[in-house]
């Protein structure tokens, strides 16, 4: 499963052009974002709360509809896709949520299997007719995230770190070509946060796919990221290597300086 897309030409793999989003007309939260993702690995998006990082990720898999701009995903415009076409694109984008968003009354393994729903018809879903391959894959993924013994527990009986592992397994189960993670570590303690980032890094390397990670913790971000994108007030103010980011940049992104070491 891991190398199915390895041969694809990745230039212009995910290209965001002039992306704008207004929840209230005349009050844009994203003011023209241009990002081109062509390399695998973790891309950390940093910036203060309310600056549109979540909105940006949600626009990429269209949980939120952008107001203007284009999102070219493997040369198909995601921002214009509808219905079945949208769902086909969406299933190639795995999403990890800040508060895990597991379906609490389903078991852990069932939650992982829901990652395959985008590949199934409603009739198959109704009969819970997951293919044997998917079922094997789900158990293997659960093993890979270290939760084999919890497979048949209900999702709401797990701890936060364990739930996020399930959330990642569910996203990877989609066999995605890009991973999106919306503040995946901010509900977790520092040690667990590092483990979650390691897991994201590992899957992004194994699958050879990019992982866009919204993150508050600048140190944690620069430890894992191959590329950092700094956002402030709905625009990109830094885009480059984690080493290149300076206190000046951070001041520009977050404002003030009392929080810097």
- Sites of contact with another protein (CB under 8 A): 61, 63, 84, 87-95, 97, 99, 101-106, 114-122, 125-126, 167, 170, 174
Q: Sign of dihedral through CA atoms 163, 62, 194, 208?
A: positive
Integer Cα distance of 82 and 29 in angstroms: 23
Minimal distance, residue 69 CB to another protein, in Å? 20
**CB of 12 closer than 8 Å to CB of 75:** yes
Minimal distance, residue 260 CB to another protein, in Å? 34
In terms of CB distance, is 108 or 253 closer to another protein? Answer: 108
Integer Cα distance of 221 and 46 in angstroms: 8
In terms of CB distance, is 79 or 92 closer to another protein? Answer: 92
In terms of CB distance, is 207 or 249 closer to another protein? Answer: 207
In terms of CB distance, is 5 or 223 closer to another protein? Answer: 5
Neighbours of 209 (CB within 10 A): 26
The gap from C-alpha 142 to its chain's centroid, in whole angstroms, comes to 19
Q: What is the dihedral of CA 120, 111, 93, 160, to 10 degrees?
A: 180
Minimal distance, residue 63 CB to another protein, in Å? 6
Minimal distance, residue 259 CB to another protein, in Å? 30
């Amino acid at each position: 499963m891991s190398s199915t897309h390895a041969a694809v030409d990745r230039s212009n793999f995910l290209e965001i052009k002039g992306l704008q989003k207004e929840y209230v007309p005349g009050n844009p939260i994203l003011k023209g974002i241009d990002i081109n993702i062509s390399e695998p690995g973790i891309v950390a998006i940093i910036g203060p709360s309310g600056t549109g990082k979540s909105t940006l990720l949600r626009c990429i898999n269209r949980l939120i509809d952008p107001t203007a701009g284009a999102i070219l995903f493997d040369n198909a415009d995601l921002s214009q896709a509808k219905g079945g076409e949208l769902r086909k694109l969406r299933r190639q984008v795995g999403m990890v949520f800040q508060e895990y968003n597991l379906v609490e009354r389903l078991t852990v393994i069932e939650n992982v299997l829901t990652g395959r729903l985008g590949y199934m018809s409603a009739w198959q879903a109704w009969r819970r007719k997951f293919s044997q391959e998917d079922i094997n894959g789900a158990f293997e993924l659960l093993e890979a995230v270290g939760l084999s013994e919890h497979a048949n527990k209900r999702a709401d009986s797990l701890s936060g770190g364990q739930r996020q592992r399930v959330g990642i397994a569910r996203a990877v189960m989609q066999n995605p070509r890009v991973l999106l993670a919306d503040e995946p570590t901010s509900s977790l303690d520092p040690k667990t946060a590092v483990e979650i980032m390691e897991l994201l890094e590992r899957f992004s390397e194994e699958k050879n796919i990019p992982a866009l990670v919204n993150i508050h913790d600048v140190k944690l971000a620069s430890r894992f990221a191959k590329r950092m994108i700094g956002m402030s007030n709905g625009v990109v103010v830094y885009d480059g290597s984690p080493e290149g980011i300076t206190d000046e940049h951070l001041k520009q992104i977050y404002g003030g300086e009392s929080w810097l070491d």
